[in-house]
Structure formats: C-alpha cells, structure tokens
Chain A
C-alpha cells in the first residue's frame, strides 16, 4: 500500500512536470520516481481503489441508444466535470446493456481526461471481464496528456507485477494511436513495452500512422533496427498509405531501389489504386518509368474496370499491350464479357478480327460469349 501511494505521488509529480514542460529533462528509467529499483510485485487488486467523489444524487439525461460515442463522451464530460462518481452512476443507470457499457466507457474516459491516475487506479480494481475495457477507456482519456499516460503505464509495468499489467501496454498504444500521438507510441514501444508485444504494437502503430501521417511514418521506419520488424512495418505503412494517397505512394515506390520491397509495394499500390481511382492510375501507367512491371499492372487495372470507367475499345488497347499470353487472354476475356452485353455485334467483330489471340483462344472466348446468363422474370 505504501509503495502504491509512493507510486501515485511519483506519477502525480510526473504529471506536474509534464504540464510544466519539464518531462523532457527527466531520465526515462524511472530513477526520478524515488521508488526502489528492485520492485516487489504488487497486484493491482491489492491497491485500495480510489473512489470517485461522492455527491448528492442528481438526475442526468438518458441518452438514446442511437447516440454516437462522441455524443456520449460529450455528455459524460459534462457530468464528470461535476463528479466522476456521478458520471459512473449515470452510466450504470442505463437499462440497455450495450448503452450502459458505452456510457461507462465514456464516463471513465471523461474521468481519465480530468484525473488520469485516479481513473486508471479505479479501472484496475474492476472485475476481470471489464477491467481491460475500463483501463483502455481511462487511458483514452489520459492521453490528452500523452507523457502522463506513458508514465502511468511505464510505472505499472516497472513497479508492479508485469504479468498483471501486460495488457496496459497495448491499451496505451491503441489510445495514443487513436489520439494521433504516433511518435509517442513508437517511443513507448521501443523503450518500455514488453518485448513479446513489440511486433504487434509496432504494426498497429504504423498501420494508423501510415493512414494519417504517411510521410512521417516512412521517416520513422528508419529508426527500427530489427530488419524483419522494419519490413513488417514498411508493408503496413504501404498498405494503409496506398489506400489513402496512391499517387504519393507511386512517387515513393519509384524512388525505391529494385528489390522485393519495391516489387511488393508496387503490387499493393496497383491493387489499391486501380480500385480507388483507375483514371489516375491509367495516367500514371502511361508515364510510368522503365522497370515497372507493366503486364501485371495493366492486367490488374483491366480486371477492376469496365465501360463505367472507359470504353471497351480503349480497354482493349490496354490489354493488347500485355506481352504475357495468358494475362492478355484473361484481360481480353474480362473486357469482352461486358462489351458483349452492351454491344454484342461490336464485341464479336473485335473477337473475329483481333490478332492478339490465337485460334484456340478465339474459339474458347466465342463459347464464353454464347453461354447463357441468369434470367430475371417479372
């Protein structure tokens, strides 16, 4: 108990320092916390829970089950500003089970924003089947002051039984990522997170980072010394980045040296870009530098487009550029399937006259075009 109180005092000191902008000057090993270096494992459940303030009973509005999380949080903030206990009571008073849990998460988060230490302490005393989500909610609030949140979890991992608090690390990383505090999350992973969680936490961080701040994420990759982990993070960033800004990824990919990374990134880019914006992708293909695997890129482009994106004649011009016979055949087949619906005469004229197919392929496609399709009656 004494140790627990010391820890809380230390955390409070860190909070004050952080608020004053002093944290930067504190050592990261926790030596400033005035806590014994050799820790004695202490279970969170042994620590006395810090009860929210008690106050007179008030009536608070009952939210609708359709309320968004943001709306619930706004409501919870208003109540928690008067008393965290009121916010918890308000949440627990909801009759709908799902709404009750959502309100509780909002209440704990609102509490965590105001008093992160107390909210985390309280969350750790909750029943096992709720503890993790309560802890995450408290940390989601705590990350309004990221270094305070990090200090809390660092303390849990360092000064208490790590087995009890190992889940605090992913909870903190998720909270930091959701708050856009990617560099802080990455620093925490590298310096404080349990070793066996680092791969998954790194991936989770770079997935979010790549989606919202891809350039910064790419830069941060250089700080990863483990080659396998760096590759892992790289693929995560490319996947999320190419879904958001394919043109920027294209520029980046073409700057990479030849190799597996570039090949993989290009394939991911082609897959995403041909889905999201085929017109822009086609423009890039037309100006793509030498070395790009055009065959596969064109085939992917054709497989995801039809006359809603461009005329069959233009698509056929693309298909005929494919040098691989099988890829070219499948691409022409894909285009003909739609073309035959809209203008069978033109499609069959093309099929009869193209020199891009051999006779066997031509006959096979003719049979495909003549196959019946499903009928709708009424």
Chain B
C-alpha cells in the first residue's frame, strides 16, 4: 500500500492535502480559543474575542482601536467612547465562566460624577456588548456611546446622515448642503425609539452596526428620534451612535409629567455588531443577566401588564400602550382590537398612556409588581376625531405626515430640493387635497396659510369652535388666526422641547390643541376665508429657523 502510494504522487499529494486540511480544521479552533482573552496594556486591556475582533480599551475607558479580521476600523486619532471620553479612574477586566470577558470602567470625573461603563464579549461572537450606569446626567447633557469608525473603511452609511462631499453647513454647524441641492445631517434618518433595532455602516467585507437594545432607561417615550449616525466624509469619521438620552427631548411631557434624565439605573444592554457587511439580526443579550452588572434587574424581579382591549379605536390607525415613571419607560404595540401585553417591566407605579399612532387618547396609571401580571380591563379611549365637524383637514394622530412634505421632515432639511414648494398655500375645503396643506407653518417661509370654506346660512348663523392641533413648535411659534378679517385672540406659547426640532429631523414635541370659540358674527354665508400665521415674541434666525409649528389637524366643529 505504501509503495503504491509512492508510485502515485498525485494521490499521495491528495492524501497529504486532506490530512493537512484535517489538521488545519482541528487546529483553527484551538488558535482562536487560545487567542480569547484580555491582556493588560498601559493601564487598559487588549481584548481578543476568539473570533475576528481585537480591540483596545485604554486606561481612560475608551476604545482606541478596534480591528476586525486585522483591519483597523476605529479612527486612529480619536477613540470610541461615552460622551467625548470617559476619563475613567478604574478599568478592570474579568473573565466569567471562561468564555465571557467583562471590562468594567468607572469614571469619577466631575462631568460624570460616578459612571460605570461595561464592555462585554463572548468567545467567538463578533459583538461588543455594552451597558452604562450613570449616577448623574453627564454635564454635557446627554448620554451616548459613539463608535468612531474610519469613513474610508466604512463608507456606506445611511444616506440621510452621510455628509460626504457637502458644500458647507447650511444651519448651525451640523446640517449640510450639497451641490445637488440636497441636505444631510446627523439628525436625519433616525427611527422612532419604538422602531430601533440595528443600524450602521459597511465597507468592503466589513460592517459595524449598533444594536440599540433595551430602551427602558432612555427618555422621551416611544416616538422620539435621536442621532444614530454621521458620515463625516472621506478621510474623517463614520460615527455610529447609541444615544441613550439627550437634551433634545427635555421638556417633553408624557401623561402630564415632564420627562427627565433617568439616573441610578442601568442603560442597556446594547451592542455593537461586526459583520462581513451583512445586516445582523438583533443579538440575544440575555446572558448578561448573569454577570452582576450594577443596576441590572433580572426577569424574576420584573412584572407585566396585560391590556384586555380598547373601545373607540379607529381601524385606520395603529395603537400603542406606553408606560413611564422616574425609573423606566416601556411601550407595546396593540392588536387590532386593542389588546396586548407588556413584559419585563420593573416594579412600580407607572403612568399609562394609550396612543392612537402618536396621539395620547387615554391616560391613567397602573402598578406593576415583580414576578406577576397586572390586568387592565377594556379601556374606552377618547378620540378627538369623533367630534362632528363642518370640515377637518388631516386627522388627529399626533403627526403631520399626511400633509405637504410631512414625510420628508425626518430625512432632510425643509430647504432641500426634494421637498415640494412650501407655499404660502391656499387650501380650499372640498377641493384641495390633504397633501397640499403644509405640514409646517414657518413664519419666515410659507406664511400665511389661507383656508377657504363655504358655510350654509344655518351654519353661518351659529358659533363654532376652531381647533388647530400641533405636534411641536420652534421658537415659541403658535397660530394667530383671522376669519374674514376678524382677528381671533392670540394664544400663549405651548411648552415644547427647547432645541431645534423641525429642521433637525423631528416633529415630535408635545401635542397641543389651540381652540377658539368663534362667534357667528365672524362668519358669512357662502365662502369664508381663514388665515393662519405663526406668532412669537422671539426673533427669527433664518427663514427656516423662524417661529414655526407642525400641524396635526385643523378643524371647524359643527
């Protein structure tokens, strides 16, 4: 047999090849397993996840290097980090059960007070899991993790936030114009908190994605949007974020309670996932329950709420139930009959809100106890759309999406060429389409909006209530109205988040309804003319950064 083999060199080579292959197959895992571990380095650690990742956590608790299959993904000059750098006073690494590494970074810098941030890997899985426990809100006024990738390595980020090739800032220092008239910004293209799954950027055979994870400690409820990505352009960074809270949402009110930064609670777990370019599924992070992270509440310490159903639903809309208190927030999409169950809630008493799309149509409270379920009977919601009207433009759902350019607010600046002309618009009830009514009323751009409508003699002989619903406002903008030249009283300013909103990709503020009881003497039989303009005592900074508000609905009640 041996001679035969010797006389057949090709076959010998084939057998040798097979043997080598088997050896290689057997050896490969051993090499990976041998590499798994955390090695102390300059006060920090170099972590090998036993698969394709090797990353460096500095003594400051930041990630200065992140290599995937040997390719450096991280900016070589700026680290990935919490805020703009953790300035940790303590960085320790622990191996759990031989296949999990936990790097714990504690910062007592004045801007953080006492913040703990965790980097976690499991052997053979190309994810870096994270969790963050702040005892005070960082002085910068936001809590975020930023992965600073190299743009040249990860050039394919979400288009709305890809500033590559821009021709300069068009608003502040963070909204950019392009030669084709389009606009991009880190604010654009973000999903509502309830829709967050994974998002990131890719390059040649590589992809980095945030898995946004548990949002119970964040702020603002299910419908807020925050920065997810910024492509700084060639030679600079591809920034991939997990914003856990920010001042963008301060002054949002849920169930009558001002949202505030939640502290002394664990944020996450969340993760950064590394792939060969494909979009990963949301990773399972349940193993983190066993790691003893500060602030982690296991499933046995949690309860649930079961809602039997809703009455008064509008079949054209999706409904949600939301919960909030000073410790946590949750939400759950409801079934077509309004039933649903919200799981894994921390014990406590919560404000409970039923949303018709993004509009609150019921509020109450519910108490959750650990390891138990709380049942809520069928709730009768109060829908403003059930009021009889002479006319209604749009519908009450807490969004301006059905109006002119409404669907573009989240992905571009209002001056972007992809928007239709903003107006001023004249809308004729009965003949104009809803989509021609402006989603936003800017004092400096498309004011006024004129509504023409007919009244019968019987209608004109009666007083009617005018309602204008808004979803947010900028610069204290609110509607000032005239009917057939008669000025109605000027309302006060609504309470809204103080930041820019409409030009930074969101219409989500506090839904507010302004109403006027209009005497019959203001009406005429036949055609009536209503004019809406924003008013504010604050000065405008530009045609777009002018006193403004986004519409939810306008109606004249019967």
Residues of A in contact with B (beta carbons under 8 Å apart): 66, 68-69, 98, 101-102, 104-105, 128-133, 136, 166-167, 169-171, 173-174, 177-178, 196-197, 200-201, 204, 207-208, 211-212, 243-245, 274-280, 301, 304-309, 338, 341-342, 373-378
Contacts and interface: CB of A to CB of B under 8 A. Distances in A.
7 contacts: A169-B378, A275-B492, A276-B489, A276-B514, A304-B494, A308-B476, A308-B480
B311 A306 contact: no
A128 B337 CA distance: 8
Given A212-B387, A304-B494, 20 more contacts: A98-B316, A102-B315, A102-B316, A132-B309, A132-B313, A133-B315, A170-B312, A171-B311, A174-B312, A204-B362, A245-B517, A275-B494, A276-B516, A279-B489, A304-B495, A305-B537, A308-B490, A308-B537, A341-B539, A378-B168
B515 interface: yes
Contacts of B392: 68
Contact of B536 (A277, A301, A308): A308
A178 B386 contact: yes
Given A66-B434, A167-B308, A200 B492 contact: no
A245 B515 CA distance: 10
Nearest to B546: A376
B163 interface: no
Nearest to A274: B492
B382 interface: yes
B35 to A, nearest CB: 49
B171 A129 contact: no
B316 A306 contact: no
A304 B335 CA distance: 39
A167 B379 CA distance: 9
Interface string B471-491: 000001010100000000111
A243 B513 contact: yes
Interface string B493-512: 11100001000000000001
Contact of A197 (B313, B315, B377, B537): B377
Contacts of A200: 364, 377-380
A305 B489 CA distance: 13
Given A200-B377, A376-B171, A306 B493 contact: yes
Contacts of B382: 204, 207-208
Nearest to B317: A98
Contact of A243 (B386, B478, B515): B515
A67 to B, nearest CB: 11
A208 B539 CA distance: 39
A274 B489 CA distance: 12
Contact of B311 (A173, A275, A342, A378): A173
Residues of B contacting A: mostly: loop
A305 B493 contact: yes
Contact of A307 (B312, B489, B537, B542): B537
B37 interface: no
Nearest to A207: B382
B545 interface: yes
B407 to A, nearest CB: 15
**Chain B interface residue number, banded:** 35 or more
A18 B1 CA distance: 106
B504 to A, nearest CB: 11
- Name the residue among B171, B172, B434, B491 with the largest chain A CB count within 10 angstroms: B491
A68 B396 CA distance: 13
Contacts of B516: 276-277
Contacts of A338: 476, 537-538
Contacts of A130: 336-337
B337 A133 contact: yes
B545 A278 contact: no
A308 B386 contact: no
Contacts of B465: 244
Given A244-B515, A308-B536, A170 B171 contact: no
Contact of A101 (B315, B362, B541, B542): B315
Contacts of A129: 335-337
B263 interface: no
Nearest to A169: B378
- Name the residue among A170, A277, A280, A308 with the largest chain B CB count within 10 angstroms: A308
Interface of B: 168-172, 177, 308-313, 315-316, 335-338, 362, 364, 377-382, 385-387, 392, 433-434, 465, 476, 478, 480, 489-495, 500, 512-517, 535-539, 541-542, 544-545
Contact of A277 (B315, B491, B538): B491
Nearest to B537: A306
- Name the residue among A167, A178, A276, A376 with the largest chain B CB count within 10 angstroms: A376
Contact of B537 (A128, A171, A309): A309
Contacts of B544: 376
A44 B517 CA distance: 46
A278 B517 contact: no
A277 B514 CA distance: 9
Contacts of B539: 341-342
B68 to A, nearest CB: 38
B492 A309 contact: yes
A205 to B, nearest CB: 8
Nearest to B478: A308
Contacts of B377: 166, 196-197, 200
A144 to B, nearest CB: 14
Contacts of A98: 315-316
A278 B172 contact: no
A204 B177 CA distance: 49
Nearest to B315: A101
A70 B435 CA distance: 19
Contacts of B313: 132-133, 136
Contacts of A136: 311-313
A255 to B, nearest CB: 21
B320 to A, nearest CB: 17
Contacts of A276: 489, 491-492, 514-516
Contacts of A308: 476, 478, 480, 490, 535-537
A232 to B, nearest CB: 10
Contact of A275 (B315, B433, B514): B514
Contacts of B316: 98, 101-102
Contacts of A174: 311-312, 380-381
Nearest to A309: B490
- Name the residue among A132, A166, A178, A204 with the largest chain B CB count within 10 angstroms: A132
Contacts of A167: 308-309, 311, 337, 378
Contact of B171 (A173, A244, A377): A377
Q: Which 10 pairs show the lowest CB-CB distances between chains A and B? A: A306-B537, A304-B492, A307-B537, A170-B311, A376-B542, A204-B380, A132-B337, A174-B312, A101-B315, A308-B535
Contacts of A132: 309-311, 313, 337-338
Nearest to B380: A204
B171 A275 contact: no
Given A167-B309, A208-B382, A306 B489 contact: no
A305 B492 contact: yes
Nearest to A100: B315
A304 B535 CA distance: 13
B404 to A, nearest CB: 14
A91 B381 CA distance: 25
B172 A378 contact: no
A378 B171 contact: yes
Contacts of B386: 177-178, 208
A68 B430 CA distance: 11
A305 B168 CA distance: 36
- Name the residue among B308, B312, B335, B513 with the largest chain A CB count within 10 angstroms: B312
A377 B380 contact: no
